[in-house]
């Protein structure tokens, strides 16, 4: 491959292009009119405007992107995450046009895009799954029987859902009929597919996911886990690797399960298998994400492997150069997603100009950033500005580094989730590792954040006063 088009924007477009350039391959950016001066456009060797600001008129225009790729003699398309990255028919079209799709086959994308098809595909591999059913259900009487069998509370999920969309918890049998009807009609209107199924509701799970990597020769490895339990309304905010709760044996077991999931759908490239992890240390397969994930850098830090480079190598037909035995975890990595949102105002998107935008840097600090000082934060896209990632020999070191980096990250003009991140990293429950997916709901409030900020301001004032008194003391000495 000599030239790769990156069908994305923001930090991920830049991050992907950096690896492409490192590999001696030319880069092509596509952009909307809102992104004319965006860093990913300036960075690329060539850049083409593909339409108006709304994604539906630019970054989601698959045919337009393929047209541009053909015009510029592009060899491969990397989709990043979001937008067209998990669109099976786009992947297929790319390949049909003689361009290499840097991602899994369209069949794998399709299977994993449906929760029920995914369950069906992995069934014969003995992957642990939450007690429940693996067929769509519409008969409410049958549903009651099943629910009685597995025990309340249960969860109704939409097969075509994902990221928590279309989920309903049912505590009591008398609510089941009503909730099921609502779930079905909701799924019908949201996804055009009213298939729902039932699972036992796992009340206090952790969300642990395994990175996998597969080549076209049937070699599949896993690159250990990421802990992603710190989320807010299904939006991850803090991720880390490794997870504090896994030991060697469980890590191996979950890794092997993830490899089997990849095998079940003939997976090629980088993918992520999501698991729920309960209080009794049971793990259950949830779904597979058939793209490079936002939080992939923590895995890169602890394994020393560039996942984008591996995606490209696999896509151009190379064999994986390492086996499972060659891989190991070294150190600990933390990531904070820095959103232009106001944590004091219910995380309302905060748009405007980045009047000041100064990034932290130093050893063990990585910033995957898509913005510059003076830029406007567009309203059209995901409000994530950057990802702040740190790496240390130990978890404590990675935490100390990220807190320091948050302090050194100067943003003026828009509100960000930086102070919220600091709140998380300083919290006792996070420090101790004793948390689940309810962390934010349980511990976070604007008042708690303000209190933390005030406490710190008082402490800073106290330290300043002490320094002042010490100085005064020293100044007096010569006169005595
Ligand atoms: C669950 C669950 C509890 N029990 N399934 C949310 C997103 C989707 N991927 C699956 N999700 C869940 N499935 C059962 N049977 C709890 C969640 C869940 C969750 C999972 C991962 C990360 C954050 C979450 C937040 C709320 C609920």
Distance 275 CA to ligand 1 centre (A): 9
- Cβ of residue 231 lying under 6 Å from some atom of ligand 1: yes
Distance 203 CA to ligand 1 centre (A): 9
Report CA(202)–ligand 1 centroid distance (Å): 8
| Pair (48, 196) in one structural domain | no
> How far away, in angstroms, is 352 Cα from ligand 1 center?
33
CA of 438 to the centre of ligand 1 (A): 10
150 within ligand 1 shell (Cβ under 6 A) = no
Q: Which of 59, 83, 102 is the last residue of a domain?
A: 102
Q: Comparing C-alpha atoms, which of 380, 387, 432, 434 is closest to residue 54?
A: 380
**Based on the domain organization, do 405 and 461 belong to the same domain?**
no
Residues 339 and 427 in one domain: yes
Give the global pTM.
0.95
**Which residue, judged by its Cα, is nearest atom 16 of ligand 1?**
202
Our mutation pick for probing the ligand 1 site, out of 130, 199, 437, 441, counting the most ligand atoms within 8 A of Cβ, is 437
- Determine the atom of ligand 1 nearest the C-alpha atom of 163: 7
CATH number at residue 437: 3.30.470.20
Tens of pLDDT, residues 160-169: 887 777 799 9
Query: What pLDDT does residue 478 have?
Result: 57
179-193, 199-213, 409-423, 461-475: lowest mean pLDDT where? Answer: 461-475
444 Cβ below 6 A of ligand 1: no
So what's the pLDDT on residue 164?
Answer: 76
Whether residue 139 is found in the same domain as residue 235: no
Q: Please, are residues 182 and 168 in contact by the beta-carbon 8 Å criterion?
A: yes
pLDDT tens sequence across 237-286 = 999 999 999 999 999 999 999 999 999 999 999 999 999 999 999 999 99
Q: How far is the CA of 164 from the centre of ligand 1 (A)?
A: 6
Residue 46 lies in a domain: yes
Q: Does the beta carbon of 129 sit less than 6 angstroms from any atom of ligand 1?
A: no
pLDDT, mean of residues 175-190: 92
**CA 280, 283, 288: angle at the middle one, nearest 5?**
160
CA 272 to chain centre: 10
Please work out whether the CB of residue 155 comes within 6 Å of at least one atom of ligand 1: yes
Across the chain, what does the average pLDDT equal? 96
**205 Cβ inside 6 Å of ligand 1:** yes
Same domain, residue pair 210 and 283: yes
pLDDT at 145 over 50: yes
Distance CA 189, CA 34 (A): 30
Q: Is residue 126 part of a domain?
A: no
CB 214 within 8 A of CB 314: yes
Instruction: For residues 331 and 462, state if they share a domain.
Output: no
Mean pLDDT confidence for 347-374: 97
Task: Calculate Rg over the CA atoms of the chain.
Answer: 24
Among 251, 291, 313, 366, the active-site one is: 291
In whole angstroms, give the CA distance from residue 229 to residue 236.
8
Q: Is the shortest distance between the CB of 287 and ligand 1 below 6 Å?
A: yes
Note the pLDDT of residue 229: 98
Residue 461, domain extent: 450-480
- The residue whose CA has the least distance to atom 27 of ligand 1 is 164
User: Domain containing 152 — which CATH number?
Assistant: 3.30.1490.20
Which pLDDT does position 480 carry in this prediction? 45
Compute the distance between CA of residue 409 and CA of residue 356 in angstroms, rounded to an integer: 10
User: Closest ligand 1 atom, CA of 164?
Assistant: 7
pLDDT band of residue 376 (cuts 50, 70, 90) is very high
Confirm whether 379 is domain-assigned: yes
Q: Which of 234, 238, 287 for a ligand 1 pocket mutation test, highest count of atoms within 8 Å of Cβ? A: 234
Same domain, 400 and 297: yes
Is the CA virtual torsion 125, 130, 132, 137 positive or negative?
negative
| 460 and 315 belong to one structural domain | no
Q: Is residue 385 part of a domain?
A: yes
Using the mean position of ligand 1's atoms as its centre, give its distance from the Cα of residue 162 in Å: 9
In a domain, 391, yes or no: yes
| Alpha-carbon span 456 to 272, nearest angstrom | 38
pLDDT digits (tens, 9 = 90+) for 411-454: 999 999 999 999 999 999 999 999 999 999 999 999 999 998 88
Whether residue 153 has a cis bond before it, omega within 30° of 0: yes
Number of structural domains in the chain:
4
Res. 25: pLDDT tops 70:
yes
Please check whether residue 273 lies inside any domain of the structure.
yes
- Tokens 């060899």 belong to 75
Task: Say yes or no: 425 and 477 in one domain.
Answer: no
Q: Is 201 in the pocket of ligand 1 (CB under 6 A)?
A: yes
- Does residue 192 fall inside a structural domain? yes
Domain end marker among 200, 221, 247: 200
Hey, whose CA ends up nearest to atom 18 of ligand 1? 164
Report the distance separating Cα 43 and Cα 325, nearest Å.
Answer: 37
Please give the pLDDT value at position 165: 78
pLDDT at 477: 60
Cβ of 164 less than 6 Å from ligand 1: yes
- Report the pLDDT value the prediction gives residue 479, as an integer from 0 to 100: 52
Tell me if residue 291 is catalytic: yes
Q: b/e for 22-61, b at 16 or more Cβ within 10 A? A: eeebbbbbbbbebbeebbbbebbeebbebbebebeebbbb
Q: Which atom of ligand 1 is nearest to the CA of 199?
A: 15
Name the residue of 209, 236, 276 to mutate for ligand 1: max ligand atoms within 8 A of Cβ.
276
Predicted local distance difference test score (pLDDT) of residue 453: 86
Quote the pLDDT of residue 472.
Answer: 82
Residue 138 sits in the same domain as residue 189: yes
> Can you state the angle between helices 418-426 and 395-408, rounded to 10 degrees?
150
- From the list 243, 289, 408, the residue with the least C-alpha distance to 338 is 408
- Percentage of the chain surpassing pLDDT 70? 99
Contact (CB, 8 A) for 209 and 275: yes
What separation in angstroms does the CA of 307 have from each of 224, 243, 270?
13, 19, 7
Q: What is the CA(233)–ligand 1 centre distance, in A? A: 10
Is residue 440 in a domain? yes
> For residue 166, what pLDDT is reported?
78
Question: Which of 200, 219, 235 marks a domain boundary?
Answer: 200
- 169 Cβ below 6 A of ligand 1: no
Work out the average pLDDT over 117-133. 95
Q: Whose CA is nearest to atom 21 of ligand 1?
A: 207
Work out which ligand 1 atom sits closest to the CA atom of 203: 3
Among 167, 171, 287, which residue has the most ligand 1 atoms within 8 Å of its CB, making it the best to mutate?
Answer: 167
Instruction: Mark whether 412 and 283 lie in a shared domain.
Output: yes
- Percentage of the chain lying above the pLDDT 90 cut: 89
Query: Is the domain of 402 the same as that of 460?
Result: no
CATH number at residue 70: 3.40.50.20
CA of 37 to the centre of ligand 1 (A): 38
Write out the chain in H/E/C secondary structure.
Answer: CCEEEECCCHHHHHHHHHHHHHCCCEEEEEEEHHHCCCHHHHHCCEEEEEECCCHHHCCCCHHHHHHHHHHCCCCEEECCCCCCCCCHHHHHHHHHCCCEECCCCHHHHHHHHCHHHHHHHHHHHCCCCCCECCCCCCCHHHHHHHHHHHCCCEEEEECCCCCCCCCEEECCHHHHHHHHHHHHHHHHHHHCCCCEEEEECCCCCEEEEEEEEECCCCCEEEEEEEEEEEEECCEEEEEEECCCCCCHHHHHHHHHHHHHHHHHCCCCEEEEEEEEECCCCCEEEEEEECCCCCCHHHHHHHHCCCHHHHHHHHHCCCCCCCCHHHCCCCCEEEEEEEECEECCCCCEECCEECCEEECCCCCCEEEEECCCCCCEECCCCCCEEEEEEEEECCHHHHHHHHHHHHHHCEEECCCCCHHHHHHHHHCHHHHHCCCCCCHHHHHCCHHHHHHHHHHHHHHHHHHHHHHHHHHHHHHHHHHC
């Amino acid at each position: 491959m000599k030239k790769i088009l990156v069908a994305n924007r923001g930090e991920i477009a830049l991050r992907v292009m950096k690896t492409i350039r490192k590999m001696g391959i030319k880069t092509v950016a596509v952009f909307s009119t809102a992104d004319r001066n965006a860093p990913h456009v300036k960075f690329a060797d060539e850049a083409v405007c593909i339409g108006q600001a709304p994604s539906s008129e630019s970054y989601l225009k698959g045919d337009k992107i393929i047209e541009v790729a053909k015009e510029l003699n592009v060899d491969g398309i990397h989709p990043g995450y979001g937008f067209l990255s998990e669109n099976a028919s786009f992947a297929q079209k790319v390949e049909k046009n003689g361009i290499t799709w840097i991602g899994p086959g369209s069949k794998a994308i399709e299977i994993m895009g449906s929760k029920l098809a995914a369950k069906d595909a992995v069934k014969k591999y003995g992957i642990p799954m939450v007690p429940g059913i693996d067929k769509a259900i519409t008969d409410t009487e049958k549903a009651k029987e099943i629910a009685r069998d597995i025990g309340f509370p249960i969860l109704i999920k939409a097969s075509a859902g994902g990221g928590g969309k279309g989920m309903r918890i049912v505590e009591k049998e008398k609510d089941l009929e009503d909730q099921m009807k609502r779930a079905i009609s909701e799924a019908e209107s949201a996804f055009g597919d009213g298939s729902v199924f039932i699972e036992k509701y796992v009340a206090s799970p952790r969300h642990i996911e395994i990175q996998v990597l597969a080549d076209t020769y049937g070699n599949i490895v896993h690159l250990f886990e990421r802990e992603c339990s710190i989320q807010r309304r299904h939006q991850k905010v803090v991720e880390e690797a490794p997870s504090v709760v896994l030991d060697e044996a469980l890590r191996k077991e979950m890794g092997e399960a993830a490899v089997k999931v990849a095998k079940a759908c003939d997976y090629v490239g980088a993918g992520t298998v999501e698991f729920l992890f309960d209080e009794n240390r049971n793990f259950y397969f949830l779904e597979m994400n058939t793209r490079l994930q936002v939080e992939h850098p923590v895995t890169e830090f602890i394994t020393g492997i560039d996942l984008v480079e591996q995606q490209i190598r696999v896509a151009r037909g190379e064999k994986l150069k390492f086996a499972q035995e060659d891989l190991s975890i070294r150190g600990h990595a933390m990531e904070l997603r820095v959103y232009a949102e106001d944590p004091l105002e219910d995380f309302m998107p905060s748009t405007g100009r980045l009047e000041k935008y100064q990034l932290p840097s130093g050893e063990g600090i990585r910033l995957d950033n898509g913005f510059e000082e003076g830029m406007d934060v567009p309203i059209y896209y995901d409000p994530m500005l950057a990802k702040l990632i740190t790496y240390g020999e130990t978890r404590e070191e990675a935490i100390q580094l990220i807190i320091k980096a948050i302090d050194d990250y100067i943003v003026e003009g828009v509100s960000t989730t930086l102070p919220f991140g600091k709140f998380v990293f300083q919290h006792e429950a996070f420090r101790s590792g004793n948390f689940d997916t309810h962390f934010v709901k349980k511990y976070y409030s604007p008042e708690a954040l303000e209190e933390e900020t005030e406490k710190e301001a008082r402490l800073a004032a106290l330290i300043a006063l002490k320094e002042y008194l010490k100085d005064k003391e020293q100044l007096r000495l010569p006169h005595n």
